Copies of this chain bind each other. A is one copy, B any other.
Amino acid sequence: MSQALALLEKYGIRSTPTRRRVIDVFLKCQHALTLQQLEGEMPEYDRVTIYRTLLAFWEAGVINRVLGESTQRFHLKKDDSNVHLNFKCNECGYISTLDAPEIPLNLPQGFISKHIHLLVVGTCSDCSHEK
């Protein structure tokens, strides 16, 4: 069974061509993708359908939204951690998901943290080596 099918089954989501295709694209591209990028990778599918597919995936917990960008980006969820670390390279623009460290948060009295979104902006290894 394909990896895509296995994922859909794991999260209890109906298998359709669009959905299998979206997962394949995510598996192929290792960085976080915008809706537009997905459209570009699978032009035979409708924009709205991809949009709704992402919604369904998001609700089911298959993917994560990257916070920190004007246009939304998504990537397959790696683990169930509450800490989400993404790295945005200013040179190539790619957003990669990294393993999140423990964050020593010192929130003021009364504040309750549910999710921690970390976006680190800088230069990725590919781009820093090129110089």
Beta-carbon contacts of A26-46 to B below 8 Å, as 1s and 0s?
000000000000000000000
B120 pairs with A115, CB closer than 8 A: yes
A31 to chain B, nearest CB (A): 13
- Smallest CB separation, A106 vs chain B (Å): 6
Question: Is A122's CB under 8 angstroms from B111's CB?
Answer: yes
**Which A residues from 81 to 131 make CB contacts under 8 A with B?**
87, 90, 98, 101-126, 128-129
Interface size on A, residues (CB 8 A): 36
A16 contacts partner chain B, Cβ-Cβ < 8 Å: no
Residues B67 and A87 in contact, CB atoms below 8 Å apart? no
Choice from B69, B87, B103, B110 contacting A103 with Cβ under 8 Å: B103
Chain B positions within 8 Å of A129 at CB level: 110
**A98-B106 Cα distance, complex, nearest whole Å:** 10
Are A128 and B101 within 8 A (Cβ)? no
Mark contacts of A56-88 with chain B using CB atoms, 8 A cut-off: 1 yes-contact digit, 0 otherwise: 000000000001111010000000000000010
Excluding A98-B107, A116-B118, A117-B120, 8 further A-B contacts by CB distance (< 8 Å) are A70-B72, A104-B104, A107-B120, A109-B125, A111-B123, A114-B123, A117-B121, A118-B118
